[in-house]
A and B are shown apart, each in its own frame.
Chain A
């Protein structure tokens, strides 16, 4: 009996081993085939860490789609000196540990260039990025990531949150506002720019009221706005995303507040008037480093062509432009990089001077070895009385040295 059992055990083990080998062989075979058909030269692979299913997927999906489309556009236009690029679009559902896992996987596969997403995870990865010398282009425009002495491998193409909030304060001063309040979620994206905004308000002599917290997934903001009403500010900053911004604006209209709102980049896009309805009219102002989707500027032409060719029925947001610009700047650097590795691409990115986005950003993009702020100019858009989003003004800030990394 013992022998019988022994034999059967070996049968099971052998079957299992064969299965594993067969699966392995299949996997290897597939791996080798795929790139050969596609292109004669080996592609430059870029790791994507996007949120397409998590709490910020309402804006993240469009961003990821644009990054993939942009890669296709780059390949159709000669690639990187003849070599195609390939972007792996992976979802991390806004979970930091999943972002680390994706990042470690990419580095293990020899990838030195990453298109990333949120403030929390980009910050969580900054030390690893620095150590592995991986160029990390994020969709988070956190000011803490633009000082090359601290984060030499982090880049982004949108005006930093710190500069956005300063620009907002400058605008308030220009239009004669006197009292401001900051509304934001208790979250890195919301909180990080607040000290910069308060310092700027103080510098300009604006009176600052008590802060109000509204979570990213809030469904009402009545109590916060009632608190705010006591102070009755002329202007309020909103540092949330589109969904929570719409909630705040609708409740402000319900309470009959005269306060107008200046909204950070991730809270103001084409969906805001849809979500907030008429409440947004003449009340919502957006700090916009990027031109909205479909606006007639030269840089928008390839985007619209891509859209026509690939998914003519989809609606896109300004997020599409954001990812597109990030990919274009990256393309420019890749073409000029002396060595195709992290330090090489970083050096090339730091030589980007007055990069013309064809009107997709408020100002050309410049990186230097001592300053990773892409530019310090933003558009201010507003929702007008007919519910359309129109540009109002362009604000430009000084590129002060002490604001670097703040």
Chain B
């Protein structure tokens, strides 16, 4: 299906390294970009169809994609499990809220600063990764989840306690980014930037060091990779991205409180990259889309059934949760490498169709 010459011949290293290699791919990527740009103007009929605000969903997906890229760098590429990314997202949200409201810094500076602060916090909680691996590290990072959560609730002078902090929408040269549509462009600019960054990171020296550590940290150390440094760096970059996601969430919902950043969010992030595909940039995107859309799509049949049997709507709603869990389990059984791998299989199948061998 990919309309390319029989074999791609690269004449320069630059060509070999290009992300989008064929005109076919370039064309479809451009078409996809146009669709992305036009989406906020054509989403109205879609809203009625799926009975939700699709623009909000897109924004939420965008924010999750940035966070999922962050976790993917850490877990997918460096092989360090983190159960603290929900809390790290909270750190980004609170940092950005405190910087804009209490310190009075404009959003555009608070956003990267929130990322940096989160990176610092992430690096501190990443220190145990020097000695801990696998499940042990998962538990150690879960401690981060509880410690940060506790601080968010009880450090009232800084975080406003359980009432939280009220923040305002950012504006761009006088244009308020308060409505869903303008915020969409902000979010997706950052989604594209972080996606390209993540993709490129995997092709740089640190990126290769991450993969080396994941595959066999002892061998990596033997060939001269500074395991400790790169593990901490991985925690830093990963937390930076999640912090950016948190900051975006804060200025979108306009109130930061600790409830949104519990252990559930950490688990959700892990689920996203596992379902999407660990160690694949596309995986983070697919995972975020899947995890956000599935509950919404499941609500359509639920809604229809509720219309027919209005008295028992609670039963259908509980069933939706069950079906959600079931679908995730089935996915893990039949596609353990994630949606990205499935996409790859489909692509390869069509490449030679109908003459596959």
Instruction: State the A residues within 8 Å of B (CB).
Output: 1-2, 4-6, 8-9, 23-24, 27-28, 31, 34, 52-53, 61, 64-65, 68, 89-91, 93, 95-98, 100-101, 104-105, 107-109, 120-121, 123-128, 131, 144, 186-188, 191-192, 310-311
CB-nearest residue of chain B to A30: B304
Known: A101-B53, A101-B60, A121-B259. A52 touches B1 (CB 8 A): no
**Is A52's CB under 8 angstroms from B314's CB?**
yes
**Is A191's CB under 8 angstroms from B353's CB?**
no
CB-nearest residue of chain B to A311: B311
* Nearest 3 Cβ contacts at the A-B interface: A127-B254, A120-B259, A188-B162
Q: How far is the CB of A315 from chain B (nearest CB, A)?
A: 14
Give the residue of B52, B259, B314 whose beta carbon is less than 8 angstroms from that of A96.
Answer: B259
**CB neighbours of B56 from chain A (8 A):** 100-101, 104-105, 108
**CB neighbours of A97 from chain B (8 A):** 60, 260
**Is A188's CB under 8 angstroms from B259's CB?**
yes
Known: A124-B260, A131-B178, A192-B163. A27 touches B314 (CB 8 A): no
**Looking at B51, B153, B307, B314, which has the most chain A CB atoms within 10 Å of its CB?**
B314
Please measure, in the bound complex, the distance between the C-alpha atom of A123 and the C-alpha atom of B160, giving whole angstroms: 12
Please measure, in the bound complex, the distance between the C-alpha atom of A23 and the C-alpha atom of B51, giving whole angstroms: 13
Please encode chain B, from 152 to 196, with 1 for each CB lying within 8 Å of some chain A CB and 0 for all others: 011000000111101100000000001010000000000000000
Instruction: State the B residues within 8 Å of A (CB).
Output: 1, 3, 45, 47-49, 51-53, 55-57, 60, 150, 153-154, 161-164, 166-167, 178, 180, 253-255, 257, 259-260, 264, 295-296, 299, 306-307, 310-311, 313-314, 317-318, 320-321, 353-355
Known: A97-B60, A124-B259. A310 touches B48 (CB 8 A): no
**Is B180's CB under 8 angstroms from A104's CB?**
yes
**Looking at B53, B57, B154, B310, which has the most chain A CB atoms within 10 Å of its CB?**
B53
**CB neighbours of A123 from chain B (8 A):** 162-164, 255, 257
**CB neighbours of B310 from chain A (8 A):** 68
Please measure, in the bound complex, the distance between the C-alpha atom of A241 and the C-alpha atom of B321, giving whole angstroms: 23
Give the residue of B53, B313, B317 whose beta carbon is less than 8 angstroms from that of A108.
Answer: B53
**CB neighbours of B150 from chain A (8 A):** 186
**Is B51's CB under 8 angstroms from A105's CB?**
yes
Q: How far is the CB of B67 from chain A (nearest CB, A)?
A: 12
CB-nearest residue of chain A to B300: A27
**CB neighbours of A61 from chain B (8 A):** 314
**Is A64's CB under 8 angstroms from B314's CB?**
yes
**CB neighbours of B314 from chain A (8 A):** 52-53, 61, 64-65, 91
Please measure, in the bound complex, the distance between the C-alpha atom of A2 and the C-alpha atom of B5, giving whole angstroms: 10
CB-nearest residue of chain B to A48: B313
CB-nearest residue of chain A to B63: A97
Q: How far is the CB of A55 from chain B (nearest CB, A)?
A: 10
- Extra inter-chain contacts (19) besides given A89-B306, A105-B51, CB under 8 Å: A9-B1, A28-B49, A52-B313, A61-B314, A93-B321, A95-B264, A101-B56, A108-B53, A120-B257, A121-B259, A123-B162, A124-B164, A127-B166, A186-B150, A186-B153, A186-B154, A188-B257, A191-B161, A310-B311
Please measure, in the bound complex, the distance between the C-alpha atom of A91 and the C-alpha atom of B314, giving whole angstroms: 8
**CB neighbours of A95 from chain B (8 A):** 264
**CB neighbours of B1 from chain A (8 A):** 5, 9
**Is A127's CB under 8 angstroms from B255's CB?**
yes
Give the residue of B47, B254, B311 whose beta carbon is less than 8 angstroms from that of A128.
Answer: B254
**Is B313's CB under 8 angstroms from A89's CB?**
yes
**Is B48's CB under 8 angstroms from A31's CB?**
yes
What would be 29 A-B contacts, judged by CB atoms less than 8 Å apart?
Answer: A5-B3, A5-B353, A23-B49, A28-B49, A64-B314, A68-B313, A97-B260, A100-B253, A101-B52, A101-B56, A105-B47, A105-B56, A108-B47, A108-B53, A108-B56, A109-B47, A120-B162, A120-B257, A123-B162, A125-B253, A127-B167, A127-B255, A188-B162, A188-B163, A188-B257, A188-B259, A191-B153, A192-B163, A310-B311
Give the residue of A27, A89, A109, A191 whose beta carbon is less than 8 angstroms from that of B49.
Answer: A27
Please measure, in the bound complex, the distance between the C-alpha atom of A2 and the C-alpha atom of B323, giving whole angstroms: 42
Q: How far is the CB of B57 from chain A (nearest CB, A)?
A: 7
Give the residue of A4, A27, A91 whose beta carbon is less than 8 angstroms from that of B317.
Answer: A91
CB-nearest residue of chain A to B302: A91
**CB neighbours of A89 from chain B (8 A):** 306, 313
**CB neighbours of B321 from chain A (8 A):** 53, 93
Give the residue of B57, B162, B254, B255 whose beta carbon is less than 8 angstroms from that of A101.
Answer: B57
**Is B259's CB under 8 angstroms from A126's CB?**
no
**CB neighbours of B318 from chain A (8 A):** 52-53
**CB neighbours of A187 from chain B (8 A):** 162
Please measure, in the bound complex, the distance between the C-alpha atom of A95 and the C-alpha atom of B262, giving whole angstroms: 10
Q: How far is the CB of B42 from chain A (nearest CB, A)?
A: 12
Give the residue of A23, A27, A104 whose beta carbon is less than 8 angstroms from that of B53.
Answer: A104
Q: How far is the CB of B22 from chain A (nearest CB, A)?
A: 14
**Looking at B60, B167, B178, which has the most chain A CB atoms within 10 Å of its CB?**
B60
Please measure, in the bound complex, the distance between the C-alpha atom of A100 and the C-alpha atom of B259, giving whole angstroms: 13
